[in-house]
Amino acid sequence: MTAAVLVGIAKTAIGGVGAISVALFAAVLPARESSGALLPLLIVGDLFAVHAYRRHVDWPALLRLFPSVAAGVLAGVVFVARVDDTVMRRTIGGLLLAVVCVHLWQRRRGARSAAGAPARAADATGKPRQAGRGIAFCYGLLAGFTTMVANAGGAVMSLYLLAAGYAMLTFLGTAAWFFLIVNVFKVPFSAGLGLITVDSLALNAVLLPALFLGVFLGRAGVKRLDQSRFERLVLVFTVVSSLNLLR
Tens of pLDDT along 85-95? 788 778 877 88
Q: Is the pLDDT of residue 75 over 70?
A: yes
16, containing H or E segment: none
Q: Which domain holds residue 115?
A: 2-245
Number of domains present in the structure of the chain: 1
**pLDDT-derived band at 201, boundaries 50, 70, 90:** very high
**CB proximity list for 48: less than 8 A, separation 6 or greater:** 8, 11, 12, 215
pLDDT at 125: 46
* 89-119: burial string, b at 16+ Cβ within 10 Å, e else: bbbbbebbbbbbebbeebeeeeeebeeeeee
In angstroms, the Cα distances linking 129 to 74, 138, 163 are 29, 17, 8
Q: Report the alpha-carbon distance of residue 13 to residue 220 in Å, rounded.
A: 9
Q: Is the pLDDT of residue 222 over 90?
A: no
User: How large is the average pLDDT for residues 165-170?
Assistant: 76
